[in-house]
Structure 1
Amino acid sequence: MNKDFFVFDSNIPRKAVIRNYTEQDFENLIRIQHECFPPPFPSELLWNNEQLSNHVKLFPEGALCVEVEGVLCGSMTGLRVDFSPQHPLHSWEEITSNGYITNHKNTGNTIYIVDISVSPTYRSLGIGKWLMQSMYEVVVHLDADRLLGGGRLSGFHRQSSNMSAEEYIEKVLCGELKDPVITFLLKCGRTPVQLVENYLDDEESKNYGLLMEWKNPFKKLAP
């Protein structure tokens, strides 16, 4: 992929590009991860060179990054897996081979999102939505059934003493609460599939994740 477009910074258009990342980008991709996920997020879940090498070797179509006026400021990574809606439960570690995507399957019916990261200083430009839209285009291009991924409940720790994770999601879905990750994914067109306990080792979400999908609109899928 190589897609040119403009983002707007205080009404000023700035040139941007979304492309497939390569080995030359690894240092900046790791830098962005550290900017996006400071402690208490577990440092062992941040990218390392071996994981990134696997991404570009095993599924380069799912290794996307974005530059704004030549500065690398975000990335999104996926792999292909076979997913059955009748058996949705899994952890992030299981479905992504702990981020190494060694279970990538070229014929998998689902593009699964391993990670999306945008440098905090660039988030007001709508880059996350551009990355998500680009991965939707990959889903259509490869004729996959869906895009799927688990959104961590990053704001749940503020409410966990007052309500369950199920109640928290209900309040986010009806607009009573906003969650930095889940609300963003909803705005990107993702829809909830299943709340998963022990999805990811993450203090903020109390280890919960919400599986959310985007179905390929050009394919007729079973309910």
Structure 2
Amino acid sequence: MYRSEFYVFDQDKPVPVIIRNYTEADFDQLIQIQSECFPPPFPSDLWWNKEQLSNHVGRFPEGAICIEVNGVLAGSLTGLCVEFDPNHMEHTWEEITDRGYITNHNPSGDTLYIVDISVRPKYRKLGLGKLMMHAMYHVVIQNKLVRLLGGGRMPGYHRVAATMKPDEYLKEVITGQLKDPVISFLLRCGRVPIGIVENYLDDEESCNYAALMEWKNPFNPI
């Protein structure tokens, strides 16, 4: 099981942080985090429910991590293992995560697929998302997987969709001509785009597109 204790800096002040696997005792706080990250008009029935969370800790506890700041639960990241074929990238979030229930978790899969990452708004300037992503890279290495993968929303795309194709928008973000709150964050985490998927989520801001973002295990020869 994963547990790492260290400090982050809130301006000039060191703050103690713990990254660990979440458990049933954390479920109420994890649902509260979802409510803060996705407030109304986002539908509350799309926040985590306890059946989903039970599946996360029961089917793949290594892929269910959270982060505490000064003893307060501040965020979470969830993944599952899948078998991924780079020649057939098209899928939806619902298909590949079984609507977040991860009943399709494949212990023999070669890819750790990110289901969700959430950080409470008041803690977002501390770099907690990047720290949790790096913790998942440790899981990829320990389990000798080929890659970490996930679909990145492109919430800035709707502003230019009338004049720019999604792959052109992604290229502009990669070259620094544009900034996107999600894609730019994933780039800073070390993720690399490998393609665009259509109809990934019902997501007006991204026009239902997502960038498939990969981190390859540097110790895997494949």
TM-score (norm 2): 0.96
For 1:110, the equivalent position in structure 2 comes to 111
Aligned-residue RMSD, C-alpha:
1.1
Q: Deviations over 1:78-127 (max 9, x none)?
A: 00010011111111001000100000011110000000001111010010
Q: CA deviation at 1:44?
A: 3.8
Q: CA deviation at 1:43?
A: 3.9
Q: CA deviation at 1:201?
A: 1.1
Q: Is the 8 A contact 1:92 1:200 kept in 2?
A: yes
Q: Does 1:202 align with 2:203?
A: yes
In structure 1, what is the Cα distance between the partners aligned to 2:10 and 2:58? Answer: 34
For 1:14, the equivalent position in structure 2 comes to 15
Q: CA deviation at 1:39?
A: 4.2
In structure 2, what is the Cα distance between the partners aligned to 1:110 and 1:51? Answer: 20
In structure 1, what is the Cα distance between the partners aligned to 2:180 and 2:30? Answer: 25
In structure 1, what is the Cα distance between the partners aligned to 2:41 and 2:154? Answer: 14
For 2:177, the equivalent position in structure 1 comes to 176
Give aligned pairs, total: 221
Amino acid at match of 1:216: N
Q: CA deviation at 1:176?
A: 0.9
Q: Deviations over 1:200-220 (max 9, x none)?
A: 111211111110110000011
Q: Deviations over 1:43-95 (max 9, x none)?
A: 44321111111000000000000000100000000000100111111110010
For 1:189, the equivalent position in structure 2 comes to 190
Equivalent position SS for 1:52: helix
For 1:38, the equivalent position in structure 2 comes to 39
Equivalent position SS for 1:105: coil
The 1:121–1:172 alpha-carbon spacing in structure 2 relative to 1, beyond 3 Å, is: same
Q: CA deviation at 1:194?
A: 1.3
Amino acid at match of 1:134: A
- Structure 2 residues not aligned, in runs of 5+: none
For 2:120, the equivalent position in structure 1 comes to 119
In structure 2, what is the Cα distance between the partners aligned to 1:56 and 1:175? Answer: 38
- Structure 1 residues not aligned, in runs of 5+: none
TM-score (norm 1): 0.96
Equivalent position SS for 1:33: helix
